Chains A and B, each alone.
Chain A
Amino acid sequence: MIGSDGREIYRVVWPRGARTVQASNVAPRLSTLEGKTIGQLWDDLFRGDEIFPILEEELSRRFPGVRFVRYDTFGSTHGRHEGKVLAELPEMLRRHQVDAVISGMAC
């Protein structure tokens, strides 16, 4: 197609693909951490093994009744077993009666 100034005009299409997810809301939050069970999920990277104990200590100080299910219970969330770990995660969370999760490390 030739435009008014003599240069060719191109009519072009979109190069992307359709989104397949509709955004959804996250799970309901807790009113407090007191008396709750917190599961730890770790991808074995970036010093989570140092950070999770610090969080445990600090959170226990503020919420004396909080308890933790440690990351080695669930397996690494990144790596060879990622698919398996994630597939089993909902059942594992149920089995251990986990109320909330702290998941790391995105670095």
Chain B
Amino acid sequence: MLRASAVAERAGVPTASLVCEGFIGQAATTSVGLGLPGLPTALVPGHVDVQSPEELRRNVAAVTVDAVIRNLTEAPAAVAGAVVEPAPGDIVFEGTFDEVNRYFYENDWSDGLPIVPPTPDRVAEFLRFCDRAPDTALGVLLPDKRRATVWNVAVNGVMAGCRPEYMPILVALIEAMADPRYGVEHSGNTPGAETLIILNGPLIKELGFNYEQGALRDGIQANTSIGRFWRLYLRNVAGFLHHRTDKGTFGNTWRVVLAENEDALRRIGWTTIAEDEGVPGGNAVTISRYTGGGVIASVFGNTPDRMLPYLADAIVGKVGWELLFTVGMGVGSQRPLLILSPILAETLARGGLDKSALKRRLFELARIPASKLEKYVGEWTNFMPGRPKLTDLVKAGQIPAVFAESDDPQRLVPLVCRPEDLMVAVSGDPLRTNAYAFAHNGILGYPTTKPVRLPADWSRLLREARAR
């Protein structure tokens, strides 16, 4: 919303931005990143969601109107000048391990766990695993509009406890973060969803990623430290900080990297996530933002017909308000993720299903009553103004016809617009009949895949790294 105000201001049109009380701090901080720190805001007292219509009217009439008039007729203080910040190679601090950690923590550069002090030597080790110059720009990240570079990727990689040989993955991850398709600027939003990184390619084995038992759990350096790196980078370069630009009500913490079991996939002839997302063959990272999920335990049955109703129902159980991203905000951008253990995938494959067929079956089975979907985006959350019925949206051509095959409020409708919107990965303990389903944050963290580029000298560098 403030982005829209910034566009208007730059077009020469003065603006008043309506801001709820709890958001004022974030608005001020976000405005700095938009290059308009003086962006005027008009306070809407309290939070609108818990006010009766009469209260809302009273508050707006008493406070907001005057603020709007001021915003539009009084000049805010002029801002100018340059900010002097450290250059990449500058030493910003010198001290013991404890002192470095305290300095970093107190300056909001750390996540509260000890970091590895980023000395130039350690950073240099990481840089050896990337052929591009350290000052190569990988993108500019909102909300702070700071430049992502090969250098600062390495610095945060050191801090997170990564190994230097993970550097190519780190670079690819930040290219993905900077891709507008992903929408990193939403990473501080109120629901506080968290990214999952999915890794494909030979690097899984070359770098010792875990892709079997405990695939989503900490304990393995590659999966764990890279997950941590992601959130440190969101903090230090994107600029998401508690009580300021980060407004997640609860939030989550970093998820470990999910590596797929590509042996299993090859055995049953299924595609990888990266291939599904259009990046075939080789090393790739896929980032996507999930609101939450859960284990689907004890999937019982030896045929798809016996297994799929439970799996479908479990996906339905995980997806609720996120249906907004199917029918409302970014129509068709909801992309739930189902992770199958290899034994479940093999059983389904033995039953004649490839991934497309599986998704088609799940599309048919994972359904909820139309009235329930309408509640999730209307009566319960007030997400969609005017509380449109699905039939209205279909009539207006905004969502596919499958959502209004009749007027019956109890008719079953899908969770996504097309079967291909579902994502299916294979990982986890190969012999346990558990699955995992994630609900998705839609366009506010859209699946984005990038190939991982290795340095020319990768084999030799990797050999040396392993020999240490």
Q: Which A residues lie at the B interface, using CB under 8 A?
A: 3, 7-33, 38-39, 41, 43-51, 54-55, 58-59, 62, 77-80, 82-83, 85-86, 89-90, 93-94, 98-107
**What distance in Å separates the Cβ of B291 from its nearest Cβ neighbour in chain A?**
17
User: Contact between A9 and B95 (Cβ–Cβ < 8 Å)?
Assistant: yes
Q: List 26 A-B contacts (CB under 8 A).
A: A7-B97, A8-B97, A10-B100, A12-B118, A14-B92, A19-B83, A19-B146, A19-B147, A23-B80, A24-B35, A27-B13, A28-B75, A33-B72, A44-B328, A51-B18, A77-B3, A77-B4, A80-B329, A80-B443, A100-B16, A103-B2, A103-B17, A106-B23, A106-B41, A107-B47, A107-B49
The answer to whether B4 touches A86 (Cβ under 8 A) is yes
Q: In whole Å, how far is A32's beta carbon from the nearest beta carbon of chain B?
A: 7
Interface residues on B, range: 35 or more
B330 within 8 A of A: yes
Is B22 in the interface zone, CB < 8 Å from A?
yes
Does B351 belong to the interface (CB within 8 Å)?
A: no
Q: Are A26 and B36 in contact (CB under 8 A)?
A: yes
**Which B residues are within 8 Å of any A CB, using their own CB?**
1-5, 7-20, 22-23, 26-27, 32-42, 44, 47-49, 53, 56-57, 60-61, 64-65, 68-69, 72-76, 78-83, 85-86, 88-97, 100, 104, 109, 117-120, 123, 140-141, 144-149, 152, 155-156, 159, 180, 232, 236-237, 328-331, 333, 382-386, 443
Besides A9-B94, A12-B104, A39-B13, 8 new A-B residue pairs in contact (Cβ under 8 A), listed by A number:
A12-B119, A13-B91, A21-B35, A41-B4, A58-B65, A86-B3, A93-B8, A99-B13
Q: Is the CB of A22 within 8 A of B18?
A: no
> A62 CA to B65 CA in the complex, in Å?
10
Bound Cα distance A41, B117 (Å): 46
Do A3 and B73 form a contact, CB below 8 Å, given A13-B118, A28-B14, A55-B65?
A: no
Given contacts A59-B65, A103-B17, contact A16 B146 (CB under 8 A): yes
CB within 8 Å for A100 and B96 given contacts A13-B123, A46-B20: no
Q: Tell whether A15 pairs with B61 under 8 Å between CB atoms, given A23-B35, A51-B56, A80-B443.
A: no
